[in-house]
Amino acid sequence: MGFKLASKFIVFATTYLLLILVTIDPVKANQRSELPTIGTAGAGTMSIDRERLLGDFYIRQIRAQAPLAEDPVLREYLSDLGNRLVLHADNVRFPFHFFWVRDSSINAFAFLGGHVGIHTGLIENAEDESELASVVAHEIAHVTQRHIARNMERMNEAAPVSFAQIIGGIVLAMANPQLGMAVMTGSIAGIQQRQINYTRQFEIEADRFGMATLARAGFDPHGAPRFFGRLASRYRYSTQVPQYLVTHPLPESRIADTRERAQQLGQPNLEPSLQFELAKARVKVRYTNTSARNALSQARTNEERASHSNTKAAARYAQALALYELERLAEADKILMALHEEDRLNLFYIDTITDTWIKQGRYEEIVEFLTQAYIRRPNNQVLTLNLAFAANEAQQYDLSVKILNEFIMRNRDDRVAYQLLQEAHQGAGDAVSMHEAQAEIFALTGNFELAIEELNNAHSKVAEDRTLSRQRIRGRIEQMRKLERDRERVMRM
């Protein structure tokens, strides 16, 4: 079930915000050659609670403005990969949230509160899972070592920068890049012309902690110097470099340091990761400008050249995806069912079987197929969202509402779940619940005014004798108003 947001907004502005917050005076950075004590720096400027609050505000803006890849099976893969790394990281203070930005550029960024964004272009250009994991581990280290908070301490004596000014520039940049960037540039004019990049000190620290995390999690630490070295070589003489190299410069000395550290950490003998290969195939077929015909041709070539069963399976999966896009559904289904027989629990195959059967109008069959899988793994996000999607198509709205309500109790920030729930309530003719679900969608994108309006609409439609329902909706309105006040407080920080 490939959810794709239609709007294609500019992502660079969001990265620009992060760079402003982590920028420091390079002269002062050179005066402090020793790394500060881990876990203490940054505490004077920003508490963990404030960091969470800022992170929550930021991610709502990201949902509203950035072209996220709302794809359950890709989200599941990235979340599993990221949390495997977090499990072996130091100084973790809160749960992490990993998300894909649908953008072909090579980039990744982290922000306050444990939010890590990965561009789809990054996995396109990674040759194996350890290379992708090395970048994710690096971004996790930026968060766990509180580089943004530590840098804000150093900015105390500089001209103050309003979070509201920066966010305002970002919003403008989404619609008018030149105007938005001008606003943001004006907002930081008083910061002594600080360079807009991570400092060498923070990069070295993130490399050190990230590579240690990478090795402890069972990945190949040589993935970092391989990926960094290849990027540096590819763009050494280029006038247009990927944003990742702008924010994370790769001098030869840094690449040499990562090579030396990787040698110390060892090199495990790893076979190609099937999940990585499937995720990469999915991104290439569904989230790039490659035509389905070209993707099909390339996938067939890749299958012929594959030397490992996992890369061969991924090439076959890519063929099925391309055939689906070409509406050659019987051919796609034949490949998918053969793959499913080999690996019955694989969520990539189940997800694409769902798409294929629904497009063939096989609604009852896919609901039964997914129900059996859901019984074995209840509340798995891929199975739950696919089953709800299929149930909505089959007009089995009661089933959709039941499993989505259970899922949302554990996943209150899942916008796709609320979208499916809103569709189920609309199909069932439940106007009150439809407005409530729509309110949650607005809230997840920071639009609390419209969220409250939807809740008021829901309240007005509740029968007078349904006292508990009316009280519950009024209570949620008050919670939304509090979130709105919190946002205003954040904007004044």
Q: What is the pLDDT of residues 183-223, one digit of tens each?
A: 433 444 434 334 334 467 788 888 899 999 999 999 999 99
Tell whether 179 and 315 lie within a shared domain. no
Asked if 140 and 214 count as a contact pair (C-beta separation under 8 A), the reply is no
pLDDT digits (tens, 9 = 90+) for 45-77: 567 787 788 888 888 888 888 889 999 999 999
pLDDT digits (tens, 9 = 90+) for 120-170: 999 999 999 999 999 999 999 988 988 776 766 565 445 455 554 454 444
Tell whether 219 and 290 lie within a shared domain. no
Tell whether 34 and 116 lie within a shared domain. yes
Instruction: Please report, as a single letter, which amino acid is at residue 429.
Output: G
Q: Does 468 map to a domain?
A: no
Tell whether 65 and 110 lie within a shared domain. yes
Distance between CA atoms of residues 75 and 430, nearest Å:
30
Q: Is 277 a residue of the active site?
A: no
Tell whether 123 and 212 lie within a shared domain. yes
3-state SS, residue 101? strand
Q: Does 388 map to a domain?
A: no
3-state SS, residue 342? helix
Whether the predicted pLDDT of 452 surpasses 90: yes
Tell whether 250 and 277 lie within a shared domain. no
Residues 24-39, mean pLDDT to the nearest whole number: 34
Tell whether 210 and 340 lie within a shared domain. no
Whether the predicted pLDDT of 182 surpasses 60: no
203 is in an annotated binding site: yes
Catalytic residue among 139, 351, 355, 436: 139
Asked if 250 and 207 count as a contact pair (C-beta separation under 8 A), the reply is no
Residue 257's pLDDT is 85
CA-based max dimension of the chain: 73
pLDDT digits (tens, 9 = 90+) for 251-310: 677 788 889 999 999 999 999 999 999 999 999 999 999 999 999 999 999 999 999 999
Q: Is 90 a residue of the active site?
A: no
Q: From 332, 348, 364, give the residue that closes a domain.
A: 348
Residue 306's pLDDT is 96
237-255 as b/e: b if 16+ CB within 10 A: eeeebbbbbebbbbeeebb
423 is in an annotated binding site: no
pLDDT digits (tens, 9 = 90+) for 394-439: 999 999 999 999 999 999 999 999 999 999 999 999 999 999 999 9
Q: Does 414 map to a domain?
A: no
Residue 198's pLDDT is 42
Report the DSSP pairing between strands 115-119 and 108-111. Answer: antiparallel
Q: Does 45 map to a domain?
A: yes
Q: From 301, 323, 348, give the residue that closes a domain.
A: 348
Tell whether 76 and 94 lie within a shared domain. yes
Tell whether 251 and 290 lie within a shared domain. no
Tell whether 283 and 338 lie within a shared domain. yes
3-state SS, residue 391? helix
Tell whether 249 and 291 lie within a shared domain. no
Number of domain units in the chain: 2
Tell whether 132 and 23 lie within a shared domain. yes
Catalytic residue among 207, 220, 436, 454: 207
Number of other CB atoms surrounding residue 87 within 10 Å: 11
State the residue range of the domain holding 121.
12-265
Q: Does 297 map to a domain?
A: yes
Question: pTM of the full predicted structure?
Answer: 0.84
Name residues whose C-beta falls within 8 Å of residue 215's C-beta, 6 or more positions apart in sequence. Answer: 221, 265, 266
- The one-character DSSP state at 303 is H
Q: From 265, 283, 309, give the residue that closes a domain.
A: 265
Share of the chain above pLDDT 70, in %: 76
248 is in an annotated binding site: no
